[in-house]
Amino acid sequence: MAVTGARTTRVRANPGEGERLREEILSAAERLLVDAGGDEALTLRAVAQHVGVTTPSLYRHFHDKASLVSAVCLRVWHELGERMQAAALDHDDPFQSLGARGRAYVHFGLEHPVQYRLLLLRPAASAHSTAEEQAARACYREVVDAVRSCVHAGVLHGDPAAVALTLWVTVHGCVSMLISSPPFPPPQDLDAFIDATVRTAGLGSALATRLPAEVPLIATSLTVRLDQLAQDLSQDQEGH
């Protein structure tokens, strides 16, 4: 592929290079999306120029802009799932594995803010493709399965799907806030903030899923019990 200025000129592809070209198109589209901060200004013509093919050649792979953006989102969903799976491999304990998935989720969202907005912060009117929905549900099932392992271990109680959704909302809210640049001071130590968010969600769920919903949570009755629990857990850690 010869490079001329900002454009590339591609020679005719050999048989079997179609999939490689498709990946190049997706990578170019994702770069342009990131550079533009969203998909509003993205055009198939700009992507074709970036890759070094004619616009009609692009239509052989993607029939319109929506299908191209959908394919980019699909790839990002797969990358998010792989990141969470890789993070979990470092832990044998199911609760620690769940926490690792949560931290990986937040870090991925912060590293890919434009892509994250396309995945989960698009207007409701923007339809998701069937493939996107399947990829999103696969990521969700990954979290549900991790929660189910914690339920089997006894650290969490309740319906794994319901608990997983609560935890997902927590990390999603964390990412959404941080990438929106809210008008108040950001956390000084980002890693500590992410860890505290994930720990709070996990420990809170471990307690909340044990209690009937009608049990009132009153400060005076909680304080002594929680202090004792924290002391016991700290002593257990020191014993190891």
Q: Which residues pair with 4 in a beta bridge?
A: 7
Query: Would you state the pLDDT for residue 154?
Result: 97
Instruction: Spell out the domain ranges in the chain.
Output: 1-63, 66-223
Phi and psi at residue 4, to the nearest 5°: -130, 105
Print pLDDT tens along the chain (240 aa): 433 344 444 445 554 477 899 999 999 999 999 999 988 889 999 999 999 999 998 999 999 999 999 999 999 999 999 999 999 999 999 999 999 999 999 999 999 999 999 999 877 546 677 888 999 999 999 999 999 999 999 999 999 999 999 999 999 999 999 999 888 898 999 999 999 999 999 999 999 999 888 888 888 888 988 899 899 888 877 666
Q: In CATH terms, is domain 1-63 a member of 2.40.50.140?
A: no
Q: What is the pLDDT of residue 1?
A: 40
Its pTM stands at 0.85
Question: What's residue 215's pLDDT?
Answer: 82
CATH architecture of the domain formed by 66-223: Orthogonal Bundle (1.10)
- Among candidates 107, 38, 51, which has minimal Cα distance to 79? 107
Do 66-223 and 1-63 fall under one CATH topology? no
Dihedral angle over CA of 100, 103, 108, 110, nearest 10: -170
Q: What pLDDT does residue 14 have?
A: 54
